[in-house]
């Protein structure tokens, strides 16, 4: 993301959304989905 060379302008524009997507996907998968599943299971009991 901080390199400057051939094609770096294009890669900088691609890297920021890709990093954001990876971070948000990890948070969703590791935190939000398990919490929602646990709450739903508690509600059904």
The token pair at 40 is 């739903």
Structure tokens at 12: 């900088």
Tell me phi and psi for residue 2, to 5 degrees: -105, 5
Residues contacting 3, CB < 8 A, separation 6+ = 11
Place of tokens 């998968």: 29
pTM: predicted TM-score of the whole model, two decimal places: 0.67
For 1-11, write each residue's pLDDT tens digit: 566 777 778 88
Residue pLDDT, tens place only, 1-45 = 566 777 778 887 888 899 999 999 999 999 999 999 999 999 887
The confidence score (pLDDT) of residue 9 equals 80
Reduced DSSP (H G I as helix, E B as strand, rest coil) percent helix, strand, coil of the chain, to 5? 80, 0, 20
């Amino acid at each position: 993301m901080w390199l400057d060379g051939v094609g770096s302008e294009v890669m900088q524009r691609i890297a920021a959304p890709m990093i954001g997507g990876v971070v948000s996907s990890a948070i969703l998968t590791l935190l939000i989905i398990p919490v929602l599943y646990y709450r739903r299971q508690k509600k059904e009991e």
